[in-house]
Amino acid sequence: MAKLILVRHGQSTWNAANRFSGWVDVPLNHQGRQEAMEAAKKVSPYQIDICFTSLLVRALETTAICLTEGEGSCRDKSPVFKHDADDPKWHGWDKYEGNKEEEIPIFLSQALDERYYGELQGYNKAKMAQKVGKETVHQWRRSYSTRPPGGESLEDTAARTIPFFQNRILPHLKEGDCVLVSAHGNSLRSIIMYLDKLSEAEVPNLELATGVPLVYDIDSEGEITDKMTLE
C-alpha cells in the first residue's frame, strides 16, 4: 500500500507577521523550524522513497528537516535535491543519476508553489481587512474562484497543481512508493480538494496547520483507502 504524505511548511517569518506571502521567498522562523522538527519525528517511521517540493525556501527548509531530523528507517538514506536539468545555474548536478538504495530524490517544481497573491503580497492581512472589509479579504483568501487583485484564485492554482499531481506524483503512488510532498497552504488545499473530492462550497472550510503531516493510503489504482492526520 502506497503512502502519500502531505506537509505544509513550518511557520515562516511572514506567517508570524500575518502578511500575505504568495511567491515572496521568505524563510522559516524559529517556531517554523521547530514545527518542521516535530513533523520530522512524525514521518520518520515511514520509508520515504521520493519527495516533491516547491521552489520556495520555506518548503525547501521543511523538506530538508523532515528528511534529516529524528530517527527512523528513512534516515538511512541521504536526501538529494534534483534541480532542473535545463537551468544552467545548477552546475550540472543533474548529471548525477543517483542511487535508489542510498538516496531519496527530491524534485523541485514551480507547480507546487504557493498561490500567487498579486498586489496583496507583503500586506498585513488584518490591515487589509480594515481597508477593504473582512468579507472581501475572506473571499480573496478562501473562495475557489475569486482572484485577489493581480493574483491567482485557488482555481488557478489547481490548474497547475492537479496536473502535476496526476502526471508526476500519482504514477509513483500506483507503483507502491511512499511519497512526501512538502508545499504550501493553498497548493496543498487544491490537491486535497482533488483527492477528497470536495465541492467548491466545502473549500472555504479547509484549513491546514503548518508542520502537521497528513497521510493517505493509496492502492495500486490510485484510489484512497485511508487517511489520517499526524497530530
Helix axes 57-68, 30-43, angle to 10 degrees: 40
CA dihedral 190, 17, 62, 150 (to 10 degrees): 40
Looking at 3.40.50.300, 3.40.109.10, 3.40.50.1240, 3.90.1170.50, the CATH number of the domain 2-229 comes to 3.40.50.1240
Based on the residue annotation, tell me whether 9 is a catalytic residue of this protein: yes
Residue range 27-71, pLDDT digits in tens: 999 999 999 999 999 999 999 999 999 999 999 999 999 999 877
Residue range 173-203, pLDDT digits in tens: 999 999 999 999 999 999 999 999 999 889 8
Q: What is the pLDDT of residue 93?
A: 60
Based on the residue annotation, tell me whether 114 is a catalytic residue of this protein: yes
CB 187 within 8 A of CB 112: yes
* Catalytically annotated residue among 9, 35, 61, 152: 9
Q: In angstroms, rounded to a whole number, what is the distance separating the alpha carbons of residues 94 and 75?
A: 23
pTM: 0.94
Domain boundaries, the chain: 2-229
* Catalytically annotated residue among 38, 61, 69, 114: 114
The arithmetic mean of pLDDT across residues 216-223, rounded, is 96
Q: In angstroms, rounded to a whole number, what is the distance separating the alpha carbons of residues 42 and 86?
A: 35
